Structure 1
Amino acid sequence: MESKDFLKSLSNKTGVSGTEEEITKAVKEVFGDYIDESRTDALGNLITLKRGEGKESDKPQIMLAAHIDEIGLMVKEIDEKGFLKFTTVGGIDQRTLVGQEVLVYGKEVVKGIIGAKPPHVQDKKEQKQAIKLKDMYIDLGRNVKEVKGLVEVGDLIVVTREFCDLEGNRVSGKSLDDRAGVTMVLECLKELQRLKHASDVYGVATVQEEVGVRGATTSTYGIVPDIGIAIDVCHGEMPGVSDEETANLGEGPVIFLGPQVHPKLHKKLKRIAQEFDISYQIGTSTSPRGTDAFAIQVTRSGIPTALVSIPLRYMHTSVETLDLNDIKKGGRLLANFISQVDSEFVEGLRCF
């Protein structure tokens, strides 16, 4: 399957943190052509394995982790007129919610819209402020009896948004954070089909990243890799945001440096990019808790970790936007890195 088709398929599916089963099934089916085995752990992480050609006694173990869960909403109250009050699952940009079409996953999937008090009837103070989540509601267009027959407190809600093509290699959709990262893992596995590699490669589609990097914590603990690489998204350039806080779409993956990144892995990834003429960018992160890299690094007695990201605009909205070339370049980078890892390199990671 082509990368764009795969990403489109994942983006259009629903998998709010804690309910990723549909996404797991889709990823497992496509990854199956490029791996030797797969399993799902107790938390729901999909753990796939492509075996390397090295000796079993000293074969390096490399883990590639990208999360499949998405941010969403949850019903917390049904009022006396049948309007739904809701809360968030993960970090949603609340400013973007009013006027959105949604799907409520109750006893059946129900369409609705997010509404709020219109400016015509707001007082002057309200007109100057962003609408707060507590003042929003979901209108299902049904009476209270019908609503209560279909929906319960705790039901999940997602914004309705179809994946779409923009100009050139640019695409937009929901949950590209981080199903684009999963797509980069697929590109890596495809590239490894034509390369020799000594290492066993674990491609892990992690769950519940958006609510505390939980999937990466448990999957890393179970695998105990010699090297862990988190693949996620970072902020792409856009108006109003400084250059030092963003990366450029279409100019390659971002190789991050920070306290969660092993310096020798960072150096090796840069050298591989240069050797194979893969365009790349450098990013810095001094707040490591925002990606699976944090969970990987501090598992058990510590795992040498790297972070590779895809520039993405409008993060945590339903119109996240990226360039497909960055995913493909990232896949090449990871595959060529893996092909050059041996037991001697892994041993050297223990000495800073």
Structure 2
Amino acid sequence: MKDLNFLKKVCEAHVPSGKENIIYPIIKDNFSEYADNIKISKLNNIYVHKKGIGANTVMIMAHADEVFLMVDKILNGGFIEFKTLGIDPKSLVSQKVLIHGRQDICGIVALKSKIVDDKLIEENLYIDTGLNSDELKSLVRIGDYITLDRKMTELLNSNISCKSIDNRASIASIYVCAEELKNVTPDLNVYFVCSCQEEVGHRGAGMASYDIKPDIGIAVDVTFDGGVMGDSDRENTLNGGPVICIGPNIHPKLRDRMINTAKKYNIPYQIEVESGNTGTDAWDIQISEGGIPTLLISIPIKYMHTSVEIVNMNDIRNTGRLLARFIQDLSSSELEGLFCF
């Protein structure tokens, strides 16, 4: 239950892109028993360092930011017009949000329809805070962040629903990995990275890669479930295990090593093919520092970029276990052979 409590803390935190410092105290408090040092960079990457025996380094990265809204206009009557980042507007109707102004203010997303001659000609979304215009303008400014406001719900069969499962599920998986490695001194130095600004272009991934200069980079993110109500073009299923990516963004020998690790320890896994840009931090890690051999491990979720994303706890735990066993079995002496095509 320790990992479930941690998932609840990080999911319910409000951490839009550029404000990742908000989650730093939670990461520091919970990772401190597994780390030799923890620090935050100038632009909010969080680095959790576990020292190894040798000089080589593996970096495991999960982005900390979540999709968000921003205040665009403050209207008469105390309503707010907003812009979205990564959220389908139709999923926002009647949702509760939190406006991060001079103080946090609760709001409700309201739908206003305009009908002429019995025909719907316009639908607009606004945020209603219950405040009048003067009160609202004293507390909220144009450009203030707005985040979805949803508490975690435990569903049946180890399924969990909350906002920002993307990508706090992955942070929870590296927390599991850190716990699995608590009494292990690996051959490689390990950096667990909570990267900044992934949702606006994977910016933190490049920064961290140049800061840490790892020999191996592993991005951990979420992917689309392919079941009922999911992406029918994919075969990923909840509770099917971590999804190992195959494609030009991924180093083939490291990928095979990860698959063999899953088989060795009887950890369930799935395969996903990405023929181009994976849309994750892996894309930027790979081309940093003259090229970093990179892997992408994903956790399947439902209803991505909504307030009711769903993940299975077994997938989080098995992802953490797979990462830990991969690191535990890896020695510096093997790297040269692994990196040769």
TM bucket (normalised to shorter chain) is: over 0.9
SS in 2 for 1:290: coil
Residues 16-51 of structure 1, C-alpha deviations (whole Å, 9 max, x = no match) = 101122212101110101011111111111111101
1:213-232 per-position Cα deviation (integer Å, ceiling 9, x unaligned)? 01111011111100000000
How far has the Cα of 1:142 moved from its partner?
1.8
Structure 1 distance, partners of 2:117, 2:237, is 41
Q: Deviations over 1:257-291 (max 9, x none)?
A: 11110001110000000001111111111232511
1:281 and 2:276 matched:
no
- Check if 1:126 corresponds to 2:115: no
1:331 corresponds in structure 2 to 320
- 2:43 aligned partner: 43
Unaligned runs of 5+ in 1: none
* Count of residue pairs the alignment pairs up: 341
Tell me whether 67-76 or 101-110 shows the greater mean CA deviation: 101-110
Deviation at 1:310, TM superposition (A): 0.5
Cα separation, 1, equivalents of 2:197 and 2:315: 24
Partner residue, 1:71: 67
**Matched position secondary structure for 2:326:** helix
Describe the SS at the equivalent of 1:114. strand
Which residue does the alignment assign to 1:322? 311
Given candidates 292, 295, 320, the residue that maps to 1:306 is 295
Q: Note the C-alpha offset of 1:345.
A: 2.2
Counterpart in the other structure of 1:28: 28
Letter in 2 for 1:35: A
**One-letter amino acid of the structure 1 residue matched with residue 172 of structure 2:** T
For 1:128-277, what aligned pairs fall within 5 Å after superposition?
131=123, 135-241=124-230, 243-277=232-266
Task: State the shift of 1:239 in Å.
Answer: 2.5
* Distance in 2 of aligned mates of 1:201 and 1:255: 20
How far did 1:242 drift? 5.2
Cα distance in 2 for partners of 1:124, 1:253 equals 50
RMSD (Å), alpha carbons: 1.7
Report the AA paired with residue 45 of structure 1.
N
Deviation at 1:241, TM superposition (A): 4.2
Alignment of 1:48-63 (within 5 A): 48-54=48-54, 59-63=55-59
2:16 is aligned to 16
Decide whether the 8 Å contact of 1:75 with 1:157 is kept in 2.
Answer: yes
Q: TM-score, length-normalised on structure 1?
A: 0.92
| C-alpha displacement of 1:168 | 2.4
CA distance in 1, matches of 2:223, 2:281: 13
Partner of 2:109: 114
Which residue identity is paired with 2:70?
Answer: M
Cα offsets for 1:104-126 (capped at 9, x unmatched): 1111111111112248x466653
Alpha-carbon separation, structure 2, partners of 1:244 and 1:111? 38
- Write 1 or 2 for the structure with the bigger share of strand: 2
Deviations 1:131-169 (Å, cap 9, x if unpaired)?
A: 5xxx21111112211111111101111121111100121
Residue 17 to residue 246, structure 1, CA distance change in 2 (3 Å): farther
Deviation, structure 1 residue 238: 3.4
Asked whether the 8 Å contact 1:258–1:288 carries over to 2, the reply is: no
State how far apart, in whole Å, the 1-side matches of 2:246 and 2:293 are. 13
What residue ranges of structure 2 are gaps of 5+ in the alignment?
Answer: none
Paired-residue identity, %? 41
CA distance in 1, matches of 2:117, 2:172: 47
Distance in 1 of aligned mates of 2:267 and 2:118: 54
Q: TM-score, normalized by length of structure 2?
A: 0.95
Inter-partner Cα distance in structure 2 for 1:172 and 1:151: 30
- Of 90, 106, 109, 1:95 maps to 90
For 1:165 and 1:200, locate their aligned partners in 2 and report how far apart those are by CA, in whole Å: 35
For 2:235 and 2:279, locate their aligned partners in 1 and report how far apart those are by CA, in whole Å.
Answer: 15
Cα distance in 2, alignment partners of residues 153 and 242 from structure 1: 36
CA positional deviation for 1:349? 3.6
Other structure's SS at 2:167 match = helix
Structure 1 residue 81: deviation in Å?
3.0
Q: Mark the CA change 1:301 to 1:186 in structure 2 (over 3 Å): closer, same or farther.
A: same
Q: By how many angstroms is 1:84 displaced?
A: 0.8
Q: Distance in 2 between matches of 1:321 and 1:291?
A: 19
How far apart, CA to CA, are the structure 2 residues paired with 1:143 and 1:243?
46
Give the conservation status (yes or no) of the 8 Å contact 2:253–2:339: no
The answer to whether the 8 Å contact 2:224/2:304 transfers is: yes
- The CA distance in 1 between the partners of 2:196 and 2:58, in whole Å, is 19
The residue type paired with residue 40 of structure 1 is I
